């Protein structure tokens, strides 16, 4: 419980600072993606938890929002390691990997892990999001990093 508040604070700070710290990369300039992937996956999770019976009564939904955002944070931060990782530091992540593809893949993987009944719709959303990115090595690198390994670690009870 005490890690949730710092997690939200960290994510909020990251969302405030990250866009201001960087000029747009080629990926961001050439992307047709209309919405920030963090906001989009947050909306997806919000729709899931509003679905009757989707959220277990014994687990508060804020836990899963924190897990989602921690996974996205670690995915992007492993590509551009300017901050301390929340949970996982992967040593062999190419710095040229697409941050958008990594954020999409990490969010997708953690939501499928948390809500397996929604896998079909989550898979569709991931495919649609990735289709908006240029097909290149950066996109492939962002997708293939071991995000599922990070996410399964994040959701295990401690």
How confident is the model at residue 100, as a pLDDT?
93
Instruction: Name the residue ranges covered by the structural domains of the chain.
Output: 4-155
The tens place of each residue's pLDDT in the chain, 158 residues long, gives 556 655 555 565 555 545 534 434 545 555 555 679 999 999 999 999 999 999 888 889 999 999 999 999 999 998 988 888 888 777 788 889 999 999 999 999 999 999 999 999 999 999 999 999 999 999 999 988 766 555 555 555 54
How confident is the model at residue 87, as a pLDDT?
80
3-state SS record for the chain: CCCHHHHHHHHHHHHHHHHHHCCCCHHHHHCCCCCCHHHHHHHHHHHHHCCCCCCCCCCCHHHHHHHHHHHHHHHHHHHCCCCCCCCCCCCCCCCCCCHHHHHHHHHHHHHHHHCHHHHHHHHHHHHHHHHCCCCCHHHHHHHHCCHHHHHHHHHCCC
pTM tops 0.85: no
């Amino acid at each position: 419980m005490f890690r949730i508040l710092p997690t939200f604070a960290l994510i909020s700070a990251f969302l405030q600072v990250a866009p201001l710290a960087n000029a747009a990369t080629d990926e961001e300039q050439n992307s047709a993606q209309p919405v920030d992937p963090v906001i989009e996956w947050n909306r997806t999770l919000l729709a899931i938890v509003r679905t009757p019976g989707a959220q277990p009564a014994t687990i508060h939904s804020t836990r899963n929002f924190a897990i989602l955002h921690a996974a996205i944070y670690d995915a992007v931060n492993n590509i551009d390691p300017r901050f301390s990782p929340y949970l996982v530091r992967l040593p062999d992540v190419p710095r040229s990997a697409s941050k958008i593809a990594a954020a999409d893949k990490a969010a997708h993987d953690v939501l499928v892990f948390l809500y397996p009944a929604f896998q079909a719709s989550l898979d569709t959303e991931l495919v649609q999001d990735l289709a908006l990115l240029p097909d290149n090595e950066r996109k492939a690198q962002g997708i293939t990093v071991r995000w599922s390994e990070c996410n399964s670690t994040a959701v295990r009870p401690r």
